[in-house]
Structure 1
Amino acid sequence: MKSFLLAGAMLAVSGPAFAQEPVFDAHVHLHKGEASIPDYEAQLKAANLKVAGFSAMWFGGPHQAPEGKIEQTRANNDTLIAMAARHPGMLPVATVHPYDGAAAVAELERVAARGVKVLKIHPHTQRFDAADPRVLTLAKRAGELGVVVMMDNAAILPGDCEKLFNLALAAPKTRFLFAHMGGLNFRFWNILPLARTAENLFGNNIYFDISGGVNIAAGSPIQDEFVWTIRNVGIDNVLIGSDFPQLTLPATLAALDKLGLSEAEKAKIRYANAKRLFGLE
């Protein structure tokens, strides 16, 4: 998949008027394992679109091991790491189940030693409580290892945003990437400008991808408020993600272009922020 290794490459797009800037897709699901990658490439090719890279994870597919299946989790993480080695530009996103406790922490340490930069855990899909102490233990260790903790934040579960906010406060040395920026509950995150004014409270360690939410907000009555929220949480803390295969990257970029953000703001969201957060070359 050399088409993904386009460091410094520009987007060449026909159809929708995408800006000619590099893009990193921070949210791609491999529901069918490696067979999902040609499908991902196909939706890019159909839009004459190229990307600098993408984050890939198992969630939603058969490769996601449940609690108590740590051997299966290890095997699946190894498969994902090997897959990334075959597909330059793919950033493997490992997972563990927080309720596996010490075994989950040990697996996090193992994959971090193998170069994994992102850990994805999903309170809804994996059926755990984000306020559970085992989640905090795992998150703090990720911070010590320099691993970004990606968590679903579609506000599917009651108290989703509040629990994630408290988790980030309790683990200030860990960088969190909250997917979907709260979904239709994105308004909650406008608390961040106030949190930043409180001495010794907030370490500015929260990042967001706007997958899904941007597709809903663009061209809607809530668009202006969505843009206001993006700027309140900080343009430097927002990434683009497609949530493929549920949504496509071309559709997501088209939605981003409808928001009325400046070209400088969109350039950060499309690529620069991911480059900084993930340490991309």
Structure 2
Amino acid sequence: MNLAIDAWAQPAGGQLRERMPEVARLFEKSGSAHLLDVRLGPEETIALMDEAGVDKLMLAAWCRPEGWVFSNDDIAEFTRAFPERFVGVATVDLSKPMAAVRELERAVHELGCKALRIVPWLWKLPPNDRRYYPLYVKCIELDIPFCTQVGHTGPLLPSETGRPVPYLDEVALDFPELRIVAGHIGHPWTDEMIGVAWKHDNVFIDTSAYLPRYYPAQLLHYMQSYGAHKVLFGSNFPQLSLSRCMAQVKELGLAAEVEAQFLYGNARRVFGL
């Protein structure tokens, strides 16, 4: 089996159309609309992972101002069932700062989560907003990365919160010890995102939500040269098929050592797996 670690995924819970209506058109455009209403349990998800050659899936909880989509406990059902295959990524209710810090601590200490992820467009708050800052301190204390989304917003909502500069750049300046994994490449600000990752030792990029066939040329150059230790493989499953993503990684013709870092080495180091 391949040793690929997928840095950005979420369960196919069968309730996405109802709880995340904004993403329905993304699934339709990606050819995965049938998964909006399908619930895949741990065993069915692992079958897809095995077919694709993915060893570990980093499954994230989702919370939005209107309520929870997938709770941290929902994610723990997967990680407890198959701890060698699923890695929990916690989230919190950003509108309740003290409760959010306590929930993050619980998710790490009691549920075994290995990172925090917050998607700024859901909250209409960029990552340099004051409500994130207590969570950054807690991430550093817990020695876990903060994962977020960069680039335009696929759903029909404003994209401004996804700009790497100034928002993520300011966070990295304020918290140089915080490991930050910026998901979704950063397009159309890919050059900005590469610049921020080059500038800050603890800022990384994951490729989720883009099929490898469509990775921007400058990202491919970065990951094959001075950024080989900075780019992590991600799919955004179930929006993108694990098998399609992995097959297209092979088509990129990466040098063996570059592919190894991209598919699993960087994630293993950044997330402490």
* TM-score class normalised by the smaller sequence: 0.7 to 0.9
Q: Deviations over 1:166-193 (max 9, x none)?
A: 2122111111111012133211123247
Partner in structure 2 of residue 268 of structure 1: 261
Q: Confirm or deny that 1:210 pairs with 2:207.
A: yes
Q: Deviations over 1:207-246 (max 9, x none)?
A: 111123353535xxx53x2312334672112111111111
**Could you tell me whether the CA contact under 8 Å between 1:136 and 1:170 is conserved in 2?**
no
Q: Confirm or deny that 1:190 pairs with 2:194.
A: yes
Q: Partners of 2:117 and 2:10 in 1: how far apart?
A: 11
Q: Confirm or deny that 1:234 pairs with 2:206.
A: no
- More off after superposition, 185-194 vs 143-152: 185-194
Q: Confirm or deny that 1:181 pairs with 2:185.
A: yes
Aligned letter for 2:191? R
| Unaligned 5+ runs, structure 1 | 1-9, 12-21, 196-201
Q: Given the alignment, which residue of 36, 51, 56 partners 1:53?
A: 56
Aligned length: 240
Q: Confirm or deny that 1:27 pairs with 2:8.
A: yes
Q: Partners of 1:194 and 1:76 in 2: how far apart?
A: 34
**Could you tell me whether the CA contact under 8 Å between 1:240 and 1:269 is conserved in 2?**
yes
Coordinate RMSD, CA, aligned: 2.6
Partner in structure 1 of residue 45 of structure 2: 40
Q: Partners of 1:171 and 1:104 in 2: how far apart?
A: 19
Partner in structure 2 of residue 127 of structure 1: 124
Normalized against structure 1, the TM-score is what? 0.75
**Could you tell me whether the CA contact under 8 Å between 1:186 and 1:229 is conserved in 2?**
no
Give the % identical residues.
27
Q: Partners of 2:122 and 2:198 in 1: how far apart?
A: 31
Pairing of 1:1-281 with structure 2 (within 5 A) = 10-11=1-2, 22-32=3-13, 35=40, 37-44=42-49, 48-59=51-62, 64-66=63-65, 76-88=71-83, 89-114=85-110, 115-156=112-153, 157-158=159-160, 160-162=163-165, 163-192=167-196, 195=199, 202=200, 204-217=201-214, 222-223=216-217, 225-231=218-224, 234-280=227-273
**Could you tell me whether the CA contact under 8 Å between 1:180 and 1:211 is conserved in 2?**
yes
Q: Partners of 1:139 and 1:249 in 2: how far apart?
A: 31
Aligned letter for 2:195? I
Larger Rg: 1 or 2? 1
Normalized against structure 2, the TM-score is what? 0.77
Q: Partners of 1:85 and 1:188 in 2: how far apart?
A: 38
Deviation at 1:119, TM superposition (A): 0.8
